[in-house]
Amino acid sequence: MTHDVGRVPALRADRLGKRYGHSWGLRDCTFAVPPGSIVGLVGPNGAGKTTLLALTVGLLAPSEGEVALFGERSRAQDAATLARVSYLAQDHPLYRGFTVADMFRFGRSLNPSWDAGLARARVAALDIPLGRKVKSLSGGQQAQVALTMALAKRAPLLLLDEPVASLDPLARLDFMRDVVAASAESGLTVLIASHVIAELERLCDWLLVLNGGRLQLAGAVEDLLAGHAVLTVPRDATNGALPGRVIERTDSDRHSTVLVSASAGTVTAAVAARPGWTAEPAGFEPVVLAYLRRPQFAAAPPAAWGTAVA
């Protein structure tokens, strides 16, 4: 990868919006993901995750704004856009009557950049026979064949929509491990839409949270965690006295546990000044869940961990 490519965002959205009739499926979505990231895309059902993916791959055209892949504007029905991105849809659709070899030939016929060696090596390593019909494979095997198709396309951006939703726990682990390995090997940028937040925590170094069609969080996971802290304070401490912005507060008899969005410096200073206050690093899942519960906190992500790529 050249130095220039390293600086251009792999995926950039600029005031991206998609309207369905009178309602907006996605609105005012602006972010930039550095190349090589593994991005988790989180949000409740109907938050706009699939819309964002479809806009990125060009299955949909935006109603406003734009999305760009590696500096090039993504356009619907454009071969150059399609060549930059692999898309693995929910339920990993494949032609049921095709053999695995047929699926690969399908991939080769429709993709100039098709890597036949990679495709064959992957299914051989997974013990999936090329001559088997897709419909006779297990769900996990079908997901692996679909992932193999997406990887063999050799596009620099891989989009996965709920890739493991239908898989058993072991197949999930295998699948995700393979995604991470592929990303590490070839510098692939991966975007994974998933409901399984714990799984994303292990995989992702970047996070997008969508809620109600709006972007709630966008940034590096490291910065997200550094920009939040869990404070334990006496119950009578008011929110105004706390550092940063209160995201979630749980009161017990004598103490309150408060998730705040604040830089590490302000938190340390606040705790040092008040005996009886303690601070702990925030966990990935609690932070994400706290935001998901509060769609109103959509507007301004903390400045401390803004976009990593300008």
Nearest to 246 by CA among 264, 228, 234: 228
How many C-beta neighbours within 10 Å does residue 280 have? 11
- Any alpha helices (H) in the chain, and if so which ranges? 3-7, 49-57, 79-84, 100-110, 116-125, 139-152, 169-186, 197-203, 221-226, 264-273, 284-292
| 111 vs 186, beta carbon nearer another protein | 111
- Work out whether 1 is an interface residue with another protein (CB under 8 A): no
- Work out whether 87 is an interface residue with another protein (CB under 8 A): yes
- Provide the minimum distance between the beta carbon of 81 and another protein in the complex, in angstroms, as a whole number: 9
Q: Which of 14, 91, 199, 205 binds another protein (CB under 8 A)?
A: 91
Beta bridge partners of 233: 256
Residues in contact with another protein, shown as a per-residue x/- string from 13 to 32 under the rule CB under 8 A: -------x------------
Q: Which of 8, 105, 118, 126 binds another protein (CB under 8 A)?
A: 105
Q: Which amino acid is at 125?
A: A
Per CB under 8 A, the segment of 108-116, 119-127, 204-212, 254-262 that binds another protein is 108-116
- Rounded to whole angstroms, the Cα distance separating 66 from 220 reads 22
Q: Which of 10, 82, 203, 304 binds another protein (CB under 8 A)?
A: 82
- Provide the minimum distance between the beta carbon of 9 and another protein in the complex, in angstroms, as a whole number: 21
232: exposed, middle or buried (Cβ count in 10 Å: 0-12, 13-18, 19+): middle
- Work out whether 281 is an interface residue with another protein (CB under 8 A): no
Under a CB-based contact definition with an 8 Å cutoff, are residues 144 and 123 in contact?
yes
- Rounded to whole angstroms, the Cα distance separating 285 from 200 reads 9
- Provide the minimum distance between the beta carbon of 111 and another protein in the complex, in angstroms, as a whole number: 5
Distance from the first to the final alpha carbon of the chain: 19
| 70 vs 106, beta carbon nearer another protein | 106
Residues in contact with another protein, shown as a per-residue x/- string from 35 to 64 under the rule CB under 8 A: ----------------------xxxxx---
Decide: helix, strand or coil at residue 149.
helix
Q: Which of 15, 46, 110, 239 binds another protein (CB under 8 A)?
A: 110
- Rounded to whole angstroms, the Cα distance separating 281 from 239 reads 19
- Provide the minimum distance between the beta carbon of 112 and another protein in the complex, in angstroms, as a whole number: 6
- Rounded to whole angstroms, the Cα distance separating 91 from 4 reads 36
Under a CB-based contact definition with an 8 Å cutoff, are residues 105 and 40 in contact?
no
Q: Which of 8, 76, 246, 289 binds another protein (CB under 8 A)?
A: 76
- Provide the minimum distance between the beta carbon of 163 and another protein in the complex, in angstroms, as a whole number: 13
| 152 vs 258, beta carbon nearer another protein | 152
Q: Which residue has the tokens 């992957």?
A: 122
Residues in the interface with another protein (CB under 8 A) total 35
Per CB under 8 A, the segment of 29-37, 107-115, 174-182, 223-231 that binds another protein is 107-115
Footprint on this chain of another protein (rule: CB under 8 A) = 20, 57-61, 76-79, 82-83, 85-87, 89-91, 93-96, 98, 102, 105-107, 109-113, 146, 149, 153
